[in-house]
C-alpha cells in the first residue's frame, strides 16, 4: 500500500483528512502526520511516504522551499497542497516545483479525491517500470541512477541551489559551513553538495571562496583598508589562507591587485 503523510497546523484538518477519506480505496494508508513544517519534515524522512498532503503556509517554514527540498530529495513523492493562501504566482511556482495539485481551503471531498486519484496514477506509472523506487530502497536498485539524474535536473533542484547561493551571498562573512546552508533550506548536507556540484560544476568551498574574493576585490578599492582587515571582513580568519585563495583565483596577490586598480 502507498504511504501517506498529512501536515497542517490545524488539527481539525489533519483529523478530518485521516478519517473522512477512504484511503484503502486507493491502496493507501496514513503513515504519519504533523502539525507544523519542521515536525513534518522529520516524519517524512522517517516514513518516506509516497504521498504528501500539506499546507504550504505554516509558521517557521518557507512552504516553497520545503516543497523544493522534498521534490529534489524524493522525486517520486507525490505532493498535493491544501491551503487557504490564494496567490496565483505562488500556486504556479509550487506546480513548477512538482506539486501535483494545489487545492484551496475549504476544498470539496470530490476535489480531494481527484487529487488522490491523480497522485496514485503517477505512482502506479512509476511502479510499473521501477517498482523498487516506490516499494523499496531506491539507492540499492538499478533504477537509482535514473532517480538521481531526475532529482538533480529538476526545477526543484535548481530552486534549491539558487536559494543556497543566495544564502551564501548573505552570510559569506560568517563562519559558514555547508551544513548551515543545508539546514536553512531543509535538505541534507550530502544532498545539497550533490546538487551544487551538478548545477554549478563547483563545490561549496569554491562557491563560498569565489563570493568572498569578489567582495574583497570591492573592498580593495579603498586604500584606507588594510588587507588583513579586508580578509577578516569577508570571512577569512587567517590572512595566509586569504592570500593563497586570492592568488589562486585572480592570478596575482591582493596587494598587486590593489596596485593594478
Per-residue pLDDT of 189-208, as tens digits, reads: 999 999 999 999 999 999 99
Helices 189-200, 63-73: crossing angle, 10 deg rounding: 80
When pLDDT is cut at 50, 70 and 90, the band that residue 140 belongs to is very low
Residue 28: what pLDDT?
96
Higher pLDDT, 25 or 138: 25
**Residues linked to residue 103 through DSSP beta bridges, in sequence order:** 82
Residue 58: what pLDDT?
81
Domain with CATH 1.10.10.60 in the chain: 206-260
CB 157 within 8 A of CB 198: yes
Helices 155-171, 63-73: crossing angle, 10 deg rounding: 120
% residues pLDDT > 90 (the chain): 69
Distance CA 134, CA 72 (A): 16
Specify the range with the lowest mean pLDDT, choosing from 26-35, 80-89, 198-207: 80-89
Residue 61: what pLDDT?
79
**Mean pLDDT (whole number) for 155-173:** 95
- What's the predicted TM-score (pTM) here? 0.80
Q: Does position 56 have pLDDT exceeding 90, yes or no?
A: no
When pLDDT is cut at 50, 70 and 90, the band that residue 89 belongs to is confident
Q: Does position 53 have pLDDT exceeding 90, yes or no?
A: yes
Residue 144: what pLDDT?
42
Higher pLDDT, 260 or 144: 260
Distance CA 17, CA 10 (A): 11
Domain with CATH 3.40.50.2300 in the chain: 2-143
Distance CA 157, CA 82 (A): 23
Q: Does position 46 have pLDDT exceeding 70, yes or no?
A: yes
Task: Tell me how far CA of residue 232 lies from CA of 91, 180, 200, 244, 248, in angstroms.
Answer: 42, 20, 26, 14, 18
pLDDT tens for 225-246 read 999 999 999 999 999 999 999 9
Q: Quick one: CATH architecture of 206-260?
A: Orthogonal Bundle (1.10)
When pLDDT is cut at 50, 70 and 90, the band that residue 129 belongs to is confident
Domain 2-143 has what CATH class? alpha beta
Can you list the pairs that 183-191 forms with residues at least 24 positions away whose Cβ atoms lie under 8 Å? Answer: 185/65, 185/68, 185/69, 185/160, 186/41, 186/61, 186/65, 186/66, 186/69, 186/70, 187/69, 187/72, 187/73, 187/160, 188/73, 191/72, 191/73
Look at strands 28-34 and 57-58 and give their pairing. unpaired
Three-state DSSP at 21 gives coil
Three-state DSSP at 62 gives strand
Q: Does position 138 have pLDDT exceeding 70, yes or no?
A: no
Q: Mean pLDDT of all residues in the chain?
A: 89
Residue 105: what pLDDT?
87
And the C-alpha cell for 41? Answer: 519534515
Look at strands 2-7 and 28-34 and give their pairing. parallel
Residue 244: what pLDDT?
97
Amino acid at each position: 500500500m502507498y504511504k501517506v503523510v498529512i501536515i497542517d497546523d490545524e488539527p481539525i484538518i489533519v483529523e478530518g483528512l485521516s478519517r473522512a477519506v477512504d484511503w484503502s480505496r486507493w491502496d493507501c494508508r496514513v503513515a504519519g502526520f504533523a502539525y507544523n513544517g519542521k515536525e513534518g519534515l522529520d516524519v517524512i524522512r522517517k516514513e518516506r511516504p509516497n504521498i504528501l498532503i500539506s499546507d504550504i503556509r505554516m509558521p517557521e517554514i518557507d512552504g516553497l522551499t520545503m516543497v523544493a527540498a522534498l521534490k529534489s530529495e524524493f522525486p517520486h513523492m507525490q505532493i498535493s497542497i491544501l491551503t487557504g493562501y490564494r496567490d496565483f504566482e505562488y500556486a504556479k511556482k509550487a506546480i513548477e516545483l512538482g506539486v501535483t495539485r494545489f487545492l484551496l481551503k475549504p476544498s470539496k471531498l470530490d476535489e480531494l479525491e481527484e487529487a488522490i486519484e491523480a497522485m496514485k496514477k503517477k505512482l502506479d506509472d512509476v511502479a510499473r517500470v521501477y517498482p523498487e523506487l516506490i516499494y523499496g530502497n531506491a539507492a540499492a536498485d538499478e533504477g537509482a541512477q535514473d532517480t538521481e539524474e531526475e532529482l538533480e535536473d529538476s526545477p526543484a533542484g535548481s530552486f534549491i541551489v539558487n536559494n543556497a547561493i543566495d544564502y551564501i551571498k548573505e552570510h559569506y562573512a560568517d563562519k559558514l559551513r555547508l551544513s548551515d546552508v543545508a539546514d536553512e533550506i531543509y535538505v541534507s548536507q550530502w544532498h545539497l553538495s550533490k546538487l551544487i556540484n551538478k548545477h554549478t560544476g563547483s563545490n561549496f568551498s569554491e562557491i563560498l571562496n569565489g563570493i568572498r574574493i569578489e567582495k574583497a576585490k570591492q573592498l580593495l578599492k579603498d586604500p584606507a583598508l588594510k588587507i588583513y582587515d579586508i580578509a577578516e571582513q569577508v570571512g577569512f580568519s587567517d590572512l595566509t589562507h586569504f592570500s593563497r585563495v586570492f592568488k589562486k583565483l585572480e592570478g596575482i596577490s591582493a596587494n598587486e591587485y590593489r596596485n593594478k586598480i
